[in-house]
Every structure is written in C-alpha cells, then in structure tokens.
Amino acid sequence: MTKEQKNEVIELLKEKFSQYNNFYVTDTESLTVEQIGKLRKACYDKKVEMKVAKNTLIKKALEAIDAEKYTGVYDSLHNVTALLFSENPKEPALIISSFRKESNNEKPQLKAAFINGEIYSGDTNLAALTKIKSKEELIGEVIGLLQSPAKRVLAALLHHHEKQAETAAE
C-alpha cells in the first residue's frame, strides 16, 4: 500500500468517525469470506456501515480527530479489525449477537464500542449494549410518561360526565 493510498484510507476513516457518534471495533479474524459476506449483508440491511482497515491506519485517523477522546479504543486495535458505524447505538450489537447465534461462532468478537462519547471495552459488554435504548426509544418513553397523567384526567372527566348523564336521565 502506497503512502498516498494510506492517506486516502485515513481520510475516509476520519470522515466516518466524524459522521457517526457510535462505532464498534470488532475482531473478525478466522471468519471465512462467506461469513464476512453474510456479516456485511446483515450490516447493510440494518443501515450499519462496515469498514475493514489496518489497525495503524485506524489509530492514525482517531488520533488526527482527537487523540485523548479515543484513548480507550487504542488497546483494542490488534488482530483483524472491522469497524461498524451506526446512528443507532445498539444496532451493531444486535447484528453481532444474532450473527454469532446463527453461525454458532464466538466471532465477530467485540473489542470495543464508542457510544456517544463513552467507551465500552471487551466482549463482555455485548449483552449490555444490545439493551441500550436509542434516542427515539427514549423520546417515546418520555412522551408516554407525559401523556399518562393527561389520559387519566380525561378518563376521570369522561367517567364523571357519563355518571352525570345517567343521573339526569333517571
């Protein structure tokens, strides 16, 4: 790979890291070409971008953006690395989990995840990351909580109005 090609990869990665608030660093070593193809398709279907790059280039791209912010990610850059970029923080975790279940494999393995400024290191975090709520889910819950008291007041008023109508009819 020429220096120019390396710089192009670094620029592409910098663009992706800047574009997304969430990315996963996975170990895809020992996966077959067919398995990698299936993983790519699963990512594509869920609007998750998958990029495979050399660890040194990934590190250079992260350092160029903000060396301190990504410090916890650097230790995970070893073996074969695939990056999963997503707007939804839990979608890559769900893809990895279901892929592993379908293929009876422990790969791809989660090396690290960067979710809205927080770093999660190690495969032991995968189960927890599948339960993270997206921004839309949280907003839906808040709206539901806010609507709940109003619904109870309306129901009580309706019930009271119906009782008055029954009393008046008698």
Q: What is the pLDDT of residues 101-158, one digit of tens each?
A: 988 888 899 999 999 889 999 998 888 888 877 777 777 777 877 777 777 777 777 7
For position 165, what pLDDT does the model report? 67
Asked if 74 and 127 sit in the same domain, the reply is yes
User: Could you tell me where the DSSP H helices lie in the chain?
Assistant: 3-19, 33-45, 55-66, 71-74, 91-103, 126-129, 135-169
Residues 128 and 141 in one domain: no
The number of folded domains in the chain is: 2
Terminal C-alpha separation, the chain: 91
* Sequence letter at residue 57: L
Question: Both 67 and 52 in a single domain?
Answer: yes
Note whether 108 and 94 are same-domain residues. yes
Q: Are residues 104 and 170 in the same domain?
A: no
Residue 92 and residue 24: Cα distance in Å, rounded?
7
| Same domain, yes or no: 14 and 28 | yes
More confident residue, 146 or 9: 9
Host domain of residue 150:
133-170
Q: Do 158 and 102 share a structural domain?
A: no
pTM: 0.78
